[in-house]
Amino acid sequence: MTLYFLGGGNMAAAIIAGLRRAAYPHAVAVAERCADKRARLHAQFGVQTLESLPPQLHGDDVLVLAVKPQDMAEACAGVDTGGALVLSIAAGLPVSALSQMLGGTRRIVRIMPNTPAAVASGVSGLYAAEGASAHDRERADAVMRSCGECVWLDTEEQMHAITAVSGSGPAYVFYLLNALQQAAQTLGFSPEHAKMLSLATFRGAVDLAAQSSDDFAVLQQQVTSKGGTTHAALASLRRDDVAQAVTRAAHAAAHRSREMAQTAP
C-alpha cells in the first residue's frame, strides 16, 4: 500500500510533515511536475518523488489530490486510480466533478484542511461520498489526524461552511494579529515587541479558552470591568460592528466556495 500525493505544494508538505511526526506506517510518494519541489520534498522528508503517477494505482493505495482546483482536470487526465481510495483537498470541487475527472470512481473523501496542519495544529473537515466504506473513512481519518483534529460532515453542502470557518479561518486570525501589531506600534512599541505582544496575547487567550469550560462571551466578561479600559475598547469594536464584519467575511467565503462548485466541470 502506498499513499500517493498528486501535487507537492504547501498543504501536501504540511500533511506529509504530520505523517512523518506520527510515524505513518505506509510508503509515501509525491507526483510533482516541478523538479525543484520534488528535490525539496525528498530532501526534507525522504519521500519518493515522481514526475507523474504510475500508469495504474492499486485498490489498497490512497491517492491525495493536492493540486489547485483550476488545475485539477488537467492533472487528473489519464490517471487510472485502479480502485484506490481518493482523498481530495481541493476547495470547491464536488464529488461529482472529481468522479468525472477520475473515470467515474465514487470512492472519494473530500477534505478541507487548514494551514496550521504544518505545525500539527490543524483542523480538517471531511465528507465521505457514498462509494467510500467505513474502512475508507478510518484511513482518511488516520491521515488527517496526523496533523490535527478532524470533523466529519454529514452532507457535502457543509463543505462550504467548513471552508468558510476553519479552512479560511487562519487568514482571519493573521489579519487580526497584524491589526493588533500595527496598533501596538502606533502606541510606541518597536515592530519586534509589537509582534511578540500580539502573538503572546493571542496564544495566551486561546490557551485559557481551551482549558476553560466557560463560553467565549463569559471569558470576555471576566476580562472586562465596567467603565474600565477593556470596556472602552470593546465599546469601540461594537460601534465598528466588528463581530458582524467577521460573520459577513465567513459568509463571503462560503458563497465563493459555492460559486467554485457551480463552475466545476
pLDDT in tens, 196-253: 999 999 999 999 999 999 999 999 999 999 999 999 999 999 999 999 999 999 999 9
Q: How many domains does the chain have?
A: 2
Alpha helices (H) along 92-215: 95-101, 134-145, 158-162, 169-186, 191-211
Both 29 and 115 in one domain: the answer is yes
Element (H, E) at 128: strand 122-128
Both 132 and 14 in one domain: the answer is yes
Q: End of a domain among 153, 186, 208? A: 153
226 is in an annotated binding site: no
66 is in an annotated binding site: yes
Both 138 and 177 in one domain: the answer is no
Model confidence pLDDT, tens digit, residues 45-68: 999 999 999 999 999 999 999 999
11 is in an annotated binding site: yes
Residue 264: what pLDDT? Answer: 74
Where residue 183 sits, what CATH number does that domain have? 1.10.3730.10
Half-sphere exposure of residue 91: CA atoms within 13 angstroms, side-chain side: 20
8 is in an annotated binding site: yes
The mean per-residue pLDDT over the stretch 35-49 comes to 95
Burial status of residue 28 (CB atoms within 10 A of its CB: 0-12, 13-18, 19 or more): buried
Confidence of residue 263 (pLDDT cuts 50, 70, 90): confident
The answer to the question of residue 53 being in a domain is yes
The answer to the question of residue 237 being in a domain is yes
Confidence of residue 261 (pLDDT cuts 50, 70, 90): confident
% of the chain surpassing 90 pLDDT: 94
Strand partners of residue 108: 86
Residue 260: what pLDDT? Answer: 86
CB pairs under 8 A, 24+ apart, for 96-103? 96/264, 97/261, 97/264, 97/265, 98/65, 98/72, 99/129, 100/265, 101/72, 101/73, 101/76, 101/77, 101/265, 102/76, 103/79
Both 87 and 174 in one domain: the answer is no
Distance CA 112, CA 34 (A): 24
Both 135 and 199 in one domain: the answer is no
Confidence of residue 118 (pLDDT cuts 50, 70, 90): confident
The answer to the question of residue 31 being in a domain is yes
228 is in an annotated binding site: no
Residue 256: what pLDDT? Answer: 92
The mean per-residue pLDDT over the stretch 4-29 comes to 94
Where residue 146 sits, what CATH number does that domain have? 3.40.50.720
Model confidence pLDDT, tens digit, residues 137-188: 999 999 999 999 999 999 999 999 999 999 999 999 999 999 999 999 999 9
Distance CA 13, CA 148 (A): 14
Distance CA 42, CA 45 (A): 5
Distance CA 114, CA 148 (A): 9
Both 190 and 122 in one domain: the answer is no
Name the nearest CA neighbour of 85 among 142, 41, 148, 124.
142
The answer to the question of residue 110 being in a domain is yes
What nine digits make up the cell of 71? 488545475
Domain of residue 95: give its range: 2-153
Are 49 and 36 in contact by the 8 Å Cβ rule? The answer is no
Residue 53: what pLDDT? Answer: 95
% of the chain surpassing 70 pLDDT: 100
Say whether pLDDT at 92 is over 90.
Answer: no
